[in-house]
Amino acid sequence: MSDRTAVAALALAQVLAHCGGSPAAAVQQLTRAVASDPAAPEPYAALAELRRDHPAEFADAVTDGTSLSAVLAQSYAAFLDGDMDSAVMALGSVTGARPDVPWAEAPWFGEDRLLDSVSPDALAEAVMRTTDYGRSLDTEAVRTGLRNWFRAIDTVTARRPQPEAMARMAIFLRACGLTDASLALCDQADLVEPVMLTEVVRAGTWRRLGDLDRTAAAFERALTLDPANWSLHLDLADLRAEQGDFGAAVAHAADGLEHEPTEPALRAAHAAYRARSGGSPDALRELIVLAADIDGSGYRNLLIDHACAGPGLPADLVTEARRLQAS
């Protein structure tokens, strides 16, 4: 390794492991070495040696641990044990915590025996974990560091295509700003079997691209595949409202209520869109009562905005609804 930080961390880890009697501290130092040069084999060789020479202490330091160093060590230990599913899922968690570090450059991550045996479901879960911390993956530097994840997706989906797993991987590709690749993977999934989740992911990608007509078409196809899914009806109702077609929004919300008549979000949306499309005071009153049950102030306030724009609504009722937005 040429990086001085990595060299120093590796040397200190060896001292801590063999002389200082602190395998846990050694694991932390080795994690620093990996972060400084993820493609270098030496820190991983040292982790394997530490695990072999001090198995109990190593287990105590990393088993069930949630720190970045513990989870990174868990991922490599799982790889050494041949548990490729656990290995990639743990590395996905590490990547989500620090996407600025190209963890997947690890020599073991690109080995054929990992890519030949990891399951599509585990890889899908792993790449979804990269999004758990809300850190942006949509930069050129991060995408470069994620290239081995992209390669893994290509390899695993070619070997064993599973539509729902592929749809989840497409969410990851979209999060990375690779919208064309995301849509292409959805198309590949459809060749195996059309499933609702693929259409929902496709809809989300078209929405991100600003094409609301294609977004709506994807949601409609999703409903064809899962007609009793109330959430899809609500998605379409909200989308039609965004497009200004409040009559269609009322109809979609009503369709959803046929399947889930007590769902607060559906009831609130149905009331809001009735108030907006027809200026119904009763609908606005219903929304005011339901507002407290809506999860998320952003969605509640959006529904109130739509409702209060209804024609001819009493001013005092609109004022009462607007007060809820400040609460």
Q: pLDDT digits over 171-186, tens only?
A: 999 999 999 999 999 9
Check residue 59 and give its pLDDT: 87
* Domain 227-327, CATH number (from 1.10.150.120, 1.25.40.10, 3.40.50.720, 3.60.110.10): 1.25.40.10
How do residues 32-47 score in pLDDT, each as one tens digit? Answer: 888 888 999 988 998 8
Three-class SS of 185-238 = HHHHHHHHCCCHHHHHHHHHHHHHCCCHHHHHHHHHHHHHHCCCCHHHHHHHHH
Check residue 14 and give its pLDDT: 56
Q: What is the pTM of this model?
A: 0.91
Burial of 174-195, coded b for 16+ CB within 10 Å and e otherwise, reads bbbbbbebbbebbebbbeeeeb
Q: Which long-range contacts (CB under 8 A, 24 or more apart) does 21-27 make?
A: 23/50, 23/54, 23/57, 23/58, 23/60, 23/61, 24/57, 24/60, 24/61, 26/50, 27/58, 27/61, 27/62, 27/69, 27/70, 27/73
Q: Domains of the chain: which residue ranges? A: 227-327
Check residue 10 and give its pLDDT: 53
* Residue 76 three-state SS: helix
Q: Cα angle vertex 19, ends 15, 23, to 5°?
A: 75
- Provide the H-helix boundaries in the chain: 4-18, 23-36, 42-53, 55-62, 68-80, 84-97, 112-115, 120-129, 140-145, 147-159, 163-175, 179-192, 196-208, 212-225, 230-242, 246-259, 264-278, 281-290, 297-308, 315-325
Check residue 1 and give its pLDDT: 43
Check residue 34 and give its pLDDT: 87
Check residue 21 and give its pLDDT: 58
Q: Alpha carbon of 55 to those of 63, 221, 319: distances in Å?
A: 11, 53, 67
Both tokens assigned to 115: 């890519």
User: What is the spatial distance between Cα 231 and Cα 190, in angstroms, rounded to a whole number?
Assistant: 22
What count of other Cβ atoms lies within 10 Å of the Cβ of residue 23?
A: 25
Per-residue pLDDT tens, the chain, 327 aa: give them: 445 554 545 554 454 445 445 777 788 888 888 888 899 998 899 889 888 888 888 888 888 888 898 899 999 999 999 999 999 999 999 999 999 999 999 999 989 999 999 999 999 999 999 999 999 999 999 999 999 999 999 999 999 999 999 999 999 999 999 999 999 999 999 999 999 999 999 999 999 999 999 999 999 999 999 999 999 999 999 999 999 999 999 999 999 999 999 999 999 999 999 999 999 999 999 999 999 999 889 999 999 999 999 999 999 999 999 999 988
User: What is the spatial distance between Cα 53 and Cα 70, in angstroms, rounded to a whole number?
Assistant: 18
Check residue 281 and give its pLDDT: 98
